[in-house]
Amino acid sequence: MKSAKFYVILLAMFVALSCPFRSDAAPSKVLKLGHAVPEENAYHFGALKFKELVESRTNGDIQIDLFPNNQLGTGERDILEGLQLGTIDLYVGSTGPLGGFEKKFLLFDFPFLFRDKKHVYEVLDGDIGKYVMGLLDAKGIHGLAWMENGFRNLTNAKRPVNTPADASGLKVRTMENKVHMAMWRELGVDPTPMAWSEVFTALQQGTIDGQENPIPVIYTSKLYEVQRHLALTRHVFSPAMIAVAKALYDTLTPEQQEIFQTSAQEAAQHEREVCDKMENDYIKSLEENGMQITRPDLSLFQEASLKVYDEFKGELGDDAKLLDQIIASGK
């Protein structure tokens, strides 16, 4: 539990540091930033850092109020739609739902695409990542920086998972992402999209058998209370981003836009570092809280999900070549 206390202290420090940057004058803009996870999650630390930097660099002229834990919607898709409608100003969260807004975001959802985090960052921070993020502008969303939620892993309440056959027959909550869902079907799993706010109760009541998420989400959401088994499948890397409503971004001065961009980049780097530390610390904490952890042979899962590439590669159109580039860069 020492690691949990460390993040509570870190969170308190950020809250304290985010306060002194107010000028005596009232801010000209008060913006709402929403995300779907608890304050202990790495997303929230990234949001706090972004808030701190923007408020400091604008001398308090822009104020950012944070609304964590689904306060502005029932899931990430709701918050993203709020950006499009102009009812929400800023978003920190997964890119998983973005495939429903812009098909090219499915590029990052193919299973076992990335070799490791170094490979991920080379792609996201490079030309491919910049190109894909830029596609959101036409959808009313402006991406500011790539964050992360880490590699996703499978939990369930029924049995240890070491092979695809062990996962077969499980009813597993997934995001509403057709590539993710297709992968699970290939593995014999029943993928069940569900708003994150409903998942803990569904697991508690046995409506679903399991779920899949990165380690920090599994721990901070206390899923060890309702899930016995964790398999480190690392089946999909979960990119995340800081994004702003495009209509709002266009009203900012060039100087303010530059502040948003640079602050988001710095906040994203901070969030990645927090996420890495959380992942390492929380695997140990999950074991201490009674979860049985398996480390499957991932080549078996990779081979079993190859058909997903054939099924969805065509939806990328001419940009299917980018998928090939990512695969080649990871070898």
35, 44 contact by CB (below 8 A): yes
What pLDDT score was predicted for residue 13?
A: 57
Q: For position 244, what pLDDT does the model report?
A: 98
Q: Using pLDDT thresholds of 50, 70 and 90, give the confidence band for residue 3.
A: low
| Dihedral pair phi/psi, residue 112, rounded to 5° | 55, 40
Per-residue pLDDT tens for 77-96?
Answer: 999 999 999 999 999 998 88
Q: What is the pTM of this model?
A: 0.85
31 pairs with which residues across the strands?
A: 64
The string of DSSP codes covering 159-213 is: ---SSHHHHTT-EEEE-S-HHHHHHHHHTT-EEEE--GGGHHHHHHHTSSSEEEE
Q: 29-34 and 62-67: which strand pairing?
A: parallel
Question: Which of 19-23, 48-52, 222-226 has the lowest average pLDDT?
Answer: 19-23
- The pLDDT assigned to 23 comes to 47
Give the residues across from 89 on adjacent strands.
Answer: none
Superfamily classification of domain 2-321: Bacterial extracellular solute-binding protein, family 7 (3.40.190.170)
Between the alpha carbon of residue 196 and those of residues 222, 239, 327, the distances in Å are 13, 17, 30
> In the predicted model, is pLDDT for residue 1 greater than 60?
no
CB–CB of 232/211 below 8 Å?
A: no
CA dihedral 187, 193, 195, 198 (to 10 degrees): -70
The contacts of residue 235 (CB under 8 Å, 6+ apart) are: 111, 112, 151, 152, 153, 154, 183, 212, 298, 301, 305
Task: Read off the pLDDT band of 14 (50, 70, 90).
Answer: low
CB 236 within 8 A of CB 109: yes
pLDDT band at 38 (very low <50, low <70, confident <90, very high): confident
| pLDDT given for residue 4 in this prediction | 60
For the chain, give the percent of residues with pLDDT over 70. Answer: 93
How many other CB atoms are found less than 10 A from the CB of residue 259?
20
What's the pLDDT at 286? 97
* Bigger pLDDT: 21 vs 325: 325
Instruction: Tell me the per-residue pLDDT of 194-248, one tens digit each, with 9 for 90 and over.
Output: 988 899 999 999 999 999 999 988 998 899 999 999 999 999 998 999 999 999 9
Q: Which of 15-24, 131-140, 258-267 has the lowest mean pLDDT?
A: 15-24
- Parse the chain into domains and list their residue ranges: 2-321
Measured CA to CA, the distance from residue 87 to residue 265 in angstroms comes to 24
- Here the contacts of 81-84 (C-beta below 8 Å, separation 24 or greater) are 82/34, 83/140, 83/141, 83/243, 83/244, 83/245, 83/246, 84/139, 84/140, 84/141, 84/245
